[in-house]
Structure 1
Amino acid sequence: MNENRSGKQLLNRINQVSFAVDDLLLYLDTHPCDERALMLCRKMVKERKELLEKYAQNFGPLTIDCTDMSESESWKWMEQPFPWEREGGCR
């Protein structure tokens, strides 16, 4: 149960940071010279990447960018349960 809760919390933070990144990207489309927004965007993109890597290490990759294909003998992307399958959704 504790692993499930920490996975939910991590996924929630990933969603929050991803929303902020998307919002900043839209803002920067119309304000490309805003240095504060650009610095914040870089910070949030870095945090998102770190969070995705942490989630992948503990629960499996959320995006194809988080898969480690170098050490695998087979394509394992489809072997893991997706986040919505962990709590009785599809399985």
Structure 2
Amino acid sequence: MNAFEEERQMMKRMQEADFVVVELTLYTNTHPDDKEALDQWREAIKEAARIRRQFENRYGPISLNSIPSEQAIEAGWRWNQPPWPWQR
């Protein structure tokens, strides 16, 4: 697998993890007493954060809410300079 495919695969994993968090959030909003769903929601948040950190450590920040990695800080990350995450 080449570098482009690896990045795309990692981004897809991040999107999937975020999707799970959104879906569980919606479910737990309407089922606040479902302990199992709340536990799944908590774990999904941790997993999504882990995948996002992994992606950002390798490729740089993905959103304005991201905490820049050491690499991004050292490189002087600029949001207005290409390549943007979806352009790599």
| Alignment partner, residue 89 of structure 1 | none
Partner Cα distance (2:29, 2:82) in 1: 36
**Alignment correspondent of 1:83:** 85
Question: Would you say how many aligned residue pairs link Structure 1 and Structure 2?
Answer: 86
- Structure 1 gap segments, 5+ residues each: 87-91
Question: When the two structures are superposed, what TM-score results if normalisation uses the length of structure 1?
Answer: 0.78
Greater displacement, 44-53 / 57-66? 57-66
Residue 15 (structure 2) aligns with:
15
Q: Which runs of 4+ in 1 moved over 4 A?
A: 69-72
RCO higher in 1 or 2 (8 Å CA, sep ≥ 6)? Answer: 2
Cα distance in 2, alignment partners of residues 29 and 42 from structure 1: 13
Q: TM-score, normalised by structure 2?
A: 0.80
Contact 2:14–2:48 (8 Å) recurs in 1: yes
